Amino acid sequence: MKFGIISDTHITSNTSTDQIKVLFEQLKRAFKDVDKIIHAGDVSDEFFLNRLNNLAPITCVRGNVDNIENLEQFIKFSYGRYNIGVIHLLPENLEEFMKEYELHIIIFGHTHIPLIKGTKFNTLLLNPGSPTVPKTPPQKPGFLKPVARPSVITLNIDENDVLSTFIITLKI
């Protein structure tokens, strides 16, 4: 199973049609062979979800700026041996939350900064960043100054439950 993961698109009816067209061209390439798209909130308007659904079936949670009815704050599902949670904003006590819901992977948004990171409590954190409003990651000593880049993530879980996940930088 291959998932395309996206968040913080902030697409509204006021977004230029050219910007939406370019974004969809990039998403078609990045998500060309995904089985499902997961949107971690801040879509903004429902028409964008409907367009994403043309690429692959979509699951979406409510972000803090969404104007879409019937979106849940948190969704949990399983694939293979993994319990996966989707939420827009990480809870304050993440370790307790992960244990309460018995999660192995949490997909979240809100920061606009891509992240693939393991935790000391054996959970994988995935944040796809934002394809439209990326933010610059914090600078780390000894590294070049980081640059904000539009991004999404793919997550593949194979028949042996082996995970592979990649940040994909878009050319927008």
- The structural domain count of the chain equals 1
pLDDT digits (tens, 9 = 90+) for 24-63: 999 999 999 999 999 999 999 899 999 999 999 999 999 9
Residue 96's domain comprises 2-169
What pLDDT score was predicted for residue 93? 95
What pLDDT score was predicted for residue 77? 98
Higher pLDDT, 102 or 67: 102
pLDDT digits (tens, 9 = 90+) for 83-141: 999 999 999 999 999 999 999 999 999 999 999 999 999 999 999 999 999 999 999 99
Full DSSP string of the chain: -EEEEE----B-TTS-HHHHHHHHHHHHHHTTT-SEEEE-S--BSHHHHHHHHTTS-EEEB--TT---TT-BSEEEEEETTEEEEEESS--SSHHHHHHHTT-SEEE--SS-SEEEEE-TTS-EEEEE--SSS--PPPP-TTSPPP----EEEEEEE-TT--EEEEEEE---
What pLDDT score was predicted for residue 62? 97
Confidence bin at 67 (pLDDT 50/70/90)? confident
What pLDDT score was predicted for residue 163? 96
pLDDT tops 80 at residue 172: no
What pLDDT score was predicted for residue 109? 98
The enclosing domain of 119 has a CATH number of 3.60.21.10
pLDDT digits (tens, 9 = 90+) for 136-166: 999 999 999 999 999 999 999 999 999 999 9
Query: Cα–chain-centroid distance for residue 104?
Result: 16
